[in-house]
C-alpha cells in the first residue's frame, strides 16, 4: 500500500510544515519528504536530539526486538498481553493531536493577524478555515466544502477554544493556544473541552450523544436540497456515528467515546492505519496483535508508519 497514512503527526524539529495534517486528504496530498518529516511525541523524546541519520537497522536484531517489546507494552493499555483494535486506535488518535511547541508558535503567529499577542475566535476561523466573519454568519449560503466542514466542526472547535481560554477573556495567548491545539494531552483539558462542546450538542443534557443529536450538530442547521448536505452526506455521517464513534453499539456516544468524537478527521486516520497494521500483523486473524506477532514481523514494524520507520525505537530503550 503506497503512501500509507502516517500513524503519528508530531512534527520533528526542523520540519518545514505550515500546518499539522488534520484529515485524510491532508495526508494524501503530502509528498514523500513531508511524510518523512512527521513524527510524534507519544514516546516523550526530545525533538532537539532527533537525528534523521539514525538508522534502526544498525541495531542488532535482539536489540530491535527488545525495543519493539517496549513499544508494544506502551500500546497495550490494559496490559493483557494483546493489542486490540481499540487500543491501537486510541494510541494513534492521541498521537495525531500531538505537535511540538515550535509548530504551535508558528501557527499562533500566523493566526494573530493584528499582532496583539492573542488569537481570538475570528482570527482562528479565518486562519484555519479561510472564513471571514460574514461567512461564519451566513455559513449555509457558501455551500462549499470549507463551509460544510466548519459548520459541522463548530461545536467541537468552539469547545476546545473555550476550554483553553483559561482566563476567560475570549482570546488565547500563546500558552492557551498551545493547549487549544493539544486538547487531548491532559485529562482535565480533554474533559473540559468535551463539556463545552456538549453544551451545544447534548440537547437533553443526559451526558451522551444520540444519533439524532449527532446529526443535529451544526453551527446552523442546513435546509433541504443543499448540495453538500444531501443524502450521500447524511448517510456518510450515520455510518461514522455507528462505526467510528458508537464503539460499543449501544446507540450513543458516551464516556471514552466522546474523545474520539472531538476530532472525527483524526479518528478516520487512526482507524485506517489501525486496519492496515492489523491486516499485516494479525497472523491468526483473531483481531488481536500479540508481542510474538510483532516480533515475528519485526522487519515490517521497523519499516512501517507504526514506528515512524523505526525512529521510535531510538527512544524506546528509556521506556518502562
Q: Are residues 226 and 141 in the same domain?
A: yes
The closest alpha carbon to 306, from 2, 1, 3, 5, belongs to: 5
Three cell numbers, residue 78: 490494559
In a domain, 273, yes or no: yes
In a domain, 229, yes or no: yes
Whole-number pLDDT of residue 243: 87
In a domain, 243, yes or no: yes
In a domain, 92, yes or no: no
Q: Are residues 145 and 215 in the same domain?
A: yes
In a domain, 156, yes or no: yes
Three cell numbers, residue 244: 467510528
Whole-number pLDDT of residue 50: 47
Query: What stretches of the chain adopt beta strand conformation (E)?
Result: 10-11, 38-39, 82-84, 119-120, 171-172, 209-210, 252-253, 288-290
Domain that holds residue 279: 10-87+268-316
The CATH code of the domain that includes 210 is: 1.10.238
pTM over 0.75: no
Q: What would the pLDDT profile of 276-301 be if each residue is shown by its tens digit? A: 889 989 999 999 999 999 899 898 87
Q: Are residues 258 and 138 in the same domain?
A: yes
Three cell numbers, residue 31: 509528498
The CATH code of the domain that includes 294 is: 1.10.238.10
Q: Which of residues 222, 242, 262 is at a domain's end?
A: 262
Whole-number pLDDT of residue 19: 37
Q: Which of residues 262, 288, 308 is at a domain's end?
A: 262
DSSP 8-state code for residue 126: H
Whole-number pLDDT of residue 192: 93
Q: Are residues 80 and 193 in the same domain?
A: no
Whole-number pLDDT of residue 23: 40
Q: Are residues 299 and 257 in the same domain?
A: no
Whole-number pLDDT of residue 98: 57
Q: Provide the 10 A C-beta neighbour count for residue 269.
A: 25
In a domain, 94, yes or no: no
The closest alpha carbon to 156, from 245, 233, 259, belongs to: 259
Three cell numbers, residue 319: 521506556
Whole-number pLDDT of residue 5: 29
Contacts of 13 (CB under 8 A, 6+ apart): 47, 48, 50, 100, 102
Q: Are residues 166 and 200 in the same domain?
A: yes
In a domain, 4, yes or no: no
The domain tally of the chain equals 2
Q: Provide the 10 A C-beta neighbour count for residue 37.
A: 16
In a domain, 95, yes or no: no
Whole-number pLDDT of residue 274: 82
Q: Which of residues 262, 282, 306 is at a domain's end?
A: 262
Q: Are residues 187 and 108 in the same domain?
A: yes
**The pairing of beta strand 252-253 with beta strand 38-39:** unpaired
Q: Say how far apart CA 179 and CA 224 lie, in whole Å.
A: 37
The closest alpha carbon to 192, from 159, 218, 152, 168, belongs to: 159
Q: What backbone torsions phi and psi does residue 299 show, to the nearest 5 degrees?
A: -65, -35
Whole-number pLDDT of residue 22: 39
Whole-number pLDDT of residue 232: 87
Contacts of 266 (CB under 8 A, 6+ apart): 22, 93, 96, 97
Q: Are residues 66 and 136 in the same domain?
A: no
Q: Are residues 143 and 248 in the same domain?
A: yes
Whole-number pLDDT of residue 124: 94
Q: Are residues 235 and 278 in the same domain?
A: no
Q: What backbone torsions phi and psi does residue 120 show, to the nearest 5 degrees?
A: -90, 175
Q: Are residues 123 and 172 in the same domain?
A: yes
Flag residues of the chain having pLDDT under 50: 1-25, 27, 35-50, 99, 319-320
Q: Are residues 146 and 245 in the same domain?
A: yes
312-317 long-range contacts (CB < 8 A, ≥24 apart) are: 312/40, 312/43, 312/71, 313/56, 313/59, 313/64, 313/67, 313/68, 313/71, 314/45, 314/51, 314/54, 314/56, 315/43, 315/44, 315/45, 316/43, 316/67, 316/68, 316/70, 316/71, 317/66, 317/67, 317/70
Amino acid at each position: 500500500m503506497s503512501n500509507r497514512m502516517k500513524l503519528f503527526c508530531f512534527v520533528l524539529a526542523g520540519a518545514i510544515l505550515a500546518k499539522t495534517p488534520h484529515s485524510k486528504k491532508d495526508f494524501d496530498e503530502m509528498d514523500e519528504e513531508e511524510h518523512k518529516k512527521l513524527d510524534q511525541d507519544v514516546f516523550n523524546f526530545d525533538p532537539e536530539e532527533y537525528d534523521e541519520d539514525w538508522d534502526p537497522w544498525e541495531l542488532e536484531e535482539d536489540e530491535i526486538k527488545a525495543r519493539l517489546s517496549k513499544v508494544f507494552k506502551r500500546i497495550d493499555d490494559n496490559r493483557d498481553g494483546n493489542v486490540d483494535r481499540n487500543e491501537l486506535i486510541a494510541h494513534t488518535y492521541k498521537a495525531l493531536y500531538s505537535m511540538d511547541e515550535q509548530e504551535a508558535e508558528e501557527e499562533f503567529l500566523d493566526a494573530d493577524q493584528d499582532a496583539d499577542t492573542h488569537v481570538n475566535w475570528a482570527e482562528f476561523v479565518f486562519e484555519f478555515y479561510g472564513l471571514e466573519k460574514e461567512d461564519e454568519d451566513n455559513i449555509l449560503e457558501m455551500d462549499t466544502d470549507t463551509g460544510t466542514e466548519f459548520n459541522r466542526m463548530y461545536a467541537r472547535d468552539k469547545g476546545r477554544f473555550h476550554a483553553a481560554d483559561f482566563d476567560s477573556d475570549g482570546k488565547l495567548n500563546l500558552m492557551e493556544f498551545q493547549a487549544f491545539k493539544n486538547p487531548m494531552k491532559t485529562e482535565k483539558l480533554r474533559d473540559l473541552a468535551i463539556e463545552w462542546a456538549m453544551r451545544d450538542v447534548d440537547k437533553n443534557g443526559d451526558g451522551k450523544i444520540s444519533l439524532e443529536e449527532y446529526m443535529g450538530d451544526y453551527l446552523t442547521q442546513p435546509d433541504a436540497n443543499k448540495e453538500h448536505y444531501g443524502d450521500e452526506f447524511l448517510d456518510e455521517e450515520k455510518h461514522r456515528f455507528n462505526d467510528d464513534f458508537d464503539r460499543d453499539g449501544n446507540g450513543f456516544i458516551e464516556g471514552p467515546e466522546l474523545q474520539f468524537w472531538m476530532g472525527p478527521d483524526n479518528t478516520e486516520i487512526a482507524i485506517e492505519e489501525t486496519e492496515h497494521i492489523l491486516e499485516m500483523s494479525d497472523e491468526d486473524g483473531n483481531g488481536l496483535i500479540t508481542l510474538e506477532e510483532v516480533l515475528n514481523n519485526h522487519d515490517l514494524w521497523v519499516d512501517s508508519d507504526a514506528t515512524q520507520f523505526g525512529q521510535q525505537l531510538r527512544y524506546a530503550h528509556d521506556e518502562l
